[in-house]
Amino acid sequence: MALLDGKIALITGGSRGIGAALVRAFHGAGAKVAFTYRSSAGPAEALVGELGENVRAYQSDASDYAGAEQLIKTVTEEMGGLNVLVNNAGITRDTLMLRMNEEQWDSVLDNNLKSVFNLTKHAMRGMMRGGGSIINMSSIVGIQGNAGQANYAASKAGIIGFSKSIAKEMGSRNLRCNVIAPGFIETDMTDELPEQVKQSYLATIPLKRLGRPEEIADACIFLASDMSSYVNGQVLSVDGGLS
């Protein structure tokens, strides 16, 4: 029996990078998987074509409150329920604070933090009837901060405080809420970094390599499964020992 047999999961930002790895892993673990994309229709359709049965893609903007409400309603009706929510969607607008403008601040907070509120708010009422797991994607930057990423760090730190609060509010309903905090992971974003920058990152990581999206997915599988049934309100850093 696969770890997520009988589970129905919704993963936001699932068409590329870590999100796509999550979709593949959850499907491989036996879950029925819905995932969202905002503009990457091609990769989303390709992923559905690759995995086939029990995987559906939905175009949605997680930062839109009403849109999130409609998404949860549609997914619940079409997939037959919802047991696991993974809030993975997010963006960066990196620049030093002296240069950061209001739009760069607001867009990151809306897409990274408000989106988590939106999806959690609309999903939790239905999920708490049968229990379930909410997994929110933070970052090592939300724990340690990073120059040039004050907006991103604030959004990811906010996710941690939000998640710990939800864990306390909903634990009595058997609805758990935990956080994954990835370190430096091999994605399109890190592929574009100059080699010198990559080497400077590697020098600070005890395992001396970048993480793989699949390693983030493995941690999420654990938190989504019944193996973590007594894990609630925790931050799991997947960062090669960086933190």
Numbered residues of the known binding site: 13-16, 88, 152-156, 185
Distance CA 163, CA 120 (A): 10
Q: Let me know: does 88 contact 16? Beta carbons within 8 Å.
A: no
Per-position DSSP letters for 45-105, written without gaps between them: HHHHHHH-TTEEEEE--TT-HHHHHHHHHHHHHHHT--SEEEE---------TTT--HHHH
Distance CA 213, CA 238 (A): 10
Sheet (strand 84-87) strand order:
55-59, 32-37, 8-11, 84-87, 132-137, 175-182, 235-238
Hey, is 196 helix, strand or coil? helix
> Does the annotation mark 152 as catalytic?
yes
Strand partners, 181: 237
Tell me which of 37, 152, 201, 230 is the catalytic residue: 152
Q: Inter-axis angle of helices 150-170 and 102-109, to 10 degrees?
A: 30
* Residue 231 Ramachandran class (φ > 0 left, ψ -120 to 50 alpha, else beta): beta
Tokens matching residue 142: 């939300």
Terminal CA-to-CA distance of the chain, rounded, Å? 35
Distance CA 48, CA 10 (A): 14
Tokens matching residue 105: 């601040």
**Can you say which residues are annotated as belonging to the binding site for NADP(+)?**
13-16, 88, 152-156, 185
Residues belonging to the active site:
152
